[in-house]
């Protein structure tokens, strides 16, 4: 609303007249619904950098952007030629998307261009006129040649997964990046985003990853206009302009904050008034914060760890975007496959307490957390105090309670609190899921202050 008012007053039109009423931005709760319900997505960081086994983009020495010096492993001229060997003959988009589906993911976000500037699709946007360098620095100039984005998009659709493109606005090898008024680079990247949104059928999300420089060196409002024209229901994360100086306060800031927050490498806090998605690597590097792309020799997080992350995000009312870093051959690391399969088995049995729920009413913490839908609350308990779990009293009567897998449990609710006792033998070592069924609300009932809200 604020955006529309601002734009009308300033004489700028972001949306066609007929869109104004039906397509408010940021996304409406109807437009957000599938994302809110989906809970679990698969993030895929991959590209020629995987050949080096060093961190994607950050592994390149002599970067223009500071930070992460411990990640710099590959001399720039070596890194910039890795594409010539990129030939992932074992890549099979159908198998990847089938695995995402088996894991219980409802959407996938694929790296189309990372900070290193390499395009995973045959872009038409020329990058270097210099005859000594690849004109496009894209998959078309590798021995593999196939359009990875096209194959991923088709396979995601086939397996019923929503599709998101990760696109890095910052580009550490583009010759015009942040040069002067940045117009040449700005035109280049906006044209690339248009390609990604018009060539591959429905796209559900754009996942940007920061931009640096000044607001005036970009035409972010135009970018959003183009994106929404291509896909009126597109969801956009909060990083399209994050890092830019001088973002105008008010409507423009709201526009760029877009639809959801993106805590990185940690689980976001309990937050129900705005959507959020934690992105976390399945590789947990010993000595650095990377692990997005293939990092041979670095450990994969255990299943229990990944499951706890999923449950902690969902009980906090967010989504988990769990990242894999496939091998340069096109295969997924076997340990990562195994964890994903286990996630899927768990979700088959417990998915009712995850998908389509909302976080709360209890605030999550070390003990675990809860999810809710209709007259059900699911407690996800990580830590017991001996045999007992103590929580604040609910304002509603609990009609029945059982372990999601069957056995009845007996909750005791008094004014002082809600207490559930479960013998150790029946507690799950990772997450004990207890389903509470609430009695219908009596008319005239009004919840007291300070109680968990239902
Ligand atoms: C950071 C890193 C980048 C990674 C991204 C994922 O921005 O720079 O390498 O792709 O996080 O959230």
pLDDT digits (tens, 9 = 90+) for 339-368: 999 999 999 999 999 999 999 999 999 999
Distance 56 CA to ligand 1 centre (A): 9
- Give the residue, out of 68, 118, 209, with the most ligand 1 atoms within 8 A of its beta carbon, to mutate for a pocket test: 209
Residue 381: is its pLDDT beyond 90? yes
279 lines ligand 1 (CB under 6 A): yes
Spans of all domains in the chain? 17-352, 374-438
Fold assignment, 17-352: TIM Barrel (3.20.20)
Does the pLDDT of residue 121 top 70, yes or no? Answer: yes
What confidence score (pLDDT) does residue 12 get? Answer: 44
Instruction: Provide the pLDDT confidence category of residue 63 given band limits of 50, 70 and 90.
Output: confident
Ligand 1 centroid–CA 293 distance in Å is: 10
In which order are the strands placed within the sheet that holds 388-391?
Answer: 388-391, 417-421, 411-414
- Indicate the top mutation candidate among 109, 243, 292 to test ligand 1's pocket, ranked by most ligand atoms within 8 A of CB: 292
Output the pLDDT for position 152.
99
Q: Which distant-in-sequence residues (6+ apart) come within 8 Å of 12 by Cβ?
A: 221
Residue 230 has a pLDDT of: 95
3-state class (DSSP) for residue 22: helix
- At 27-50, the pLDDT tens digits run 999 999 999 999 999 999 999 999
Closest-CA residue, ligand 1 atom 4, reads: 292
- For 246, other C-beta atoms within 10 Å of its C-beta total 10
Question: Distance (Å, rounded) from C-alpha 245 to C-alpha 217?
Answer: 10
What distance in angstroms lies between residue 209's CA and the mean position of ligand 1's atoms?
Answer: 7
| C-alpha dihedral, 23 to 24 to 26 to 27, nearest 10° | -40
The backbone torsions φ and ψ at residue 345, rounded to the nearest 5 degrees and listed phi first, read -65, -45
399: nearest Cα among 437, 430, 432, 363? 437
The per-residue pLDDT for 443 is 66
Indicate whether residue 264 lines ligand 1 (CB < 6 A).
yes
Cβ of 209 closer than 6 Å to ligand 1, yes or no, is yes
Superfamily name and number for 374-438:
Golgi alpha-mannosidase II (2.60.40.1180)
Q: Are the C-beta atoms of residues 221 and 25 closer than 8 Å to each other?
A: no
Ligand 1 within 6 A of CB of 208: no
- The pLDDT value recorded for residue 405 is 85
Ligand 1 atom closest to 166 (CA) = 10
Tell whether ligand 1 has an atom less than 6 A from the beta carbon of residue 55: no
pLDDT bin (cut points 50, 70, 90) of residue 5 is: very low
Alpha helices, H only, 136-234: 148-158, 183-198, 220-230
Quickly list H helices, 16-103.
17-22, 29-38, 49-52, 76-79, 93-103
- Which atom of ligand 1 has the smallest separation from the CA of 262? 12
Structural contact between residues 244 and 212, judged by C-beta atoms closer than 8 angstroms? yes
Is 128 in contact with 183 (CB distance < 8 Å)? Answer: no
pLDDT at 308: 98
Query: Which of these, 372, 451, 375, lies nearest to 413 by C-alpha position?
Result: 451
- How remote is the C-alpha of 185 from its chain's centroid? 26
Buried residues in 264-291 as b, exposed as e (16+ CB within 10 A): eeebbebeeeebbbbbbbbbbbeeeebb
Ligand 1 center–CA 44 separation, angstroms: 11
Q: Rounded mean pLDDT of 248-269?
A: 96
Q: Whose CA is nearest to atom 5 of ligand 1?
A: 209
What is the predicted pLDDT for the residue at 78?
97
Q: Output 451-454 pairs: Cβ under 8 A, ≥24 positions apart.
A: 451/392, 451/393, 451/394, 451/395, 452/360, 452/361, 452/362, 452/363, 452/392, 452/394, 452/395, 453/360, 453/361, 454/361, 454/372, 454/377, 454/394, 454/395, 454/396
Distance (angstroms) between ligand 1 centre and the Cα of 266 equals 13
Which atom of ligand 1 is closest in space to residue 58's alpha carbon?
Answer: 9
Q: For residue 55, give the ligand 1 atom closest to its CA.
A: 9
**pLDDT, position 406:** 83
Burial (CB count <10 Å: 0-12, 13-18, 19+), residue 441: middle
Q: Considering only CA atoms, which residue is closest to atom 7 of ligand 1?
A: 209
Residue 155: other Cβ atoms inside 10 A: 21
**For the CA of 279, the nearest atom of ligand 1:** 12
Taking the CA of residue 168 as reference, the ligand 1 atom at the shortest distance is 10
């Amino acid at each position: 609303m604020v955006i529309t008012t601002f734009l009308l007053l300033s004489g700028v039109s972001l949306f066609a007249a007929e869109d104004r009423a039906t397509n408010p931005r940021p996304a409406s709760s109807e437009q957000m619904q599938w994302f809110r319900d989906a809970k679990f997505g698969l993030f895929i960081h991959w590209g020629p950098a995987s050949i080096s086994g060093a961190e994607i983009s950050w592994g390149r020495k002599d970067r223009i952007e500071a930070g992460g010096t411990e990640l710099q492993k590959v001399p720039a001229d070596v890194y910039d030629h890795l594409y010539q060997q990129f030939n992932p003959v074992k890549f099979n988009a159908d198998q990847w998307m089938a695995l995402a589906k088996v894991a219980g993911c409802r959407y996938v976000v694929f790296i189309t261009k990372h900070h290193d500037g390499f395009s995973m699709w045959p872009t038409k946007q020329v990058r270097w006129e210099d005859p000594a360098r690849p004109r496009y620095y894209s998959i078309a100039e590798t021995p593999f040649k196939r359009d990875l984005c096209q194959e991923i998009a088709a396979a995601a659709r086939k397996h019923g997964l929503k599709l998101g493109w990760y696109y890095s606005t910052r580009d550490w090898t583009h010759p015009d990046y942040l040069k002067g008024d940045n117009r040449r680079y700005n035109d280049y990247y906006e044209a690339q985003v248009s390609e990604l949104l018009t060539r591959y059928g429905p796209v559900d999300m754009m996942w940007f990853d920061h931009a640096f420089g000044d607001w005036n060196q970009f035409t972010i409002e135009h970018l959003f206009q183009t994106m929404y024209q291509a896909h009126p229901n597109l969801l956009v994360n909060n990083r399209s302009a994050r890092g830019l100086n001088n973002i105008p306060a008010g409507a423009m800031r709201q526009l760029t904050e877009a639809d959801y927050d993106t805590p990185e490498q940690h689980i976001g806090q309990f937050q129900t008034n705005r959507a959020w998605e934690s992105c976390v690597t399945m590789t947990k590097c010993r000595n650095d914060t990377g692990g997005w792309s293939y990092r041979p020799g670095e450990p994969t997080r255990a299943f229990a760890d990944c499951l706890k992350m999923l449950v902690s995000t969902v009980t906090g009312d967010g989504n988990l975007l769990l990242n894999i870093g496939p091998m340069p051959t096109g295969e997924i690391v076997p340990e990562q496959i195994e964890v994903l399969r286990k996630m899927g088995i768990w979700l088959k049995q417990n998915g009712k307490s995850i998908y389509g729920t909302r976080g709360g009413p209890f605030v999550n913490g070390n003990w675990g957390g809860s999810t809710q839908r209709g007259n059900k609350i699911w407690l996800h308990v990580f830590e017991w105090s001996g045999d007992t779990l103590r929580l604040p009293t609910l304002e509603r009567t609990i009609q029945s309670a059982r372990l999601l897998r069957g056995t009845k449990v007996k909750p005791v609710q008094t004014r002082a609190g809600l207490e559930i006792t479960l013998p150790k033998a029946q507690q799950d070592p990772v997450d004990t899921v207890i389903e509470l069924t609430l009695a219908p609300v009596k008319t005239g009932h009004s919840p007291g202050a300070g109680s968990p809200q239902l």
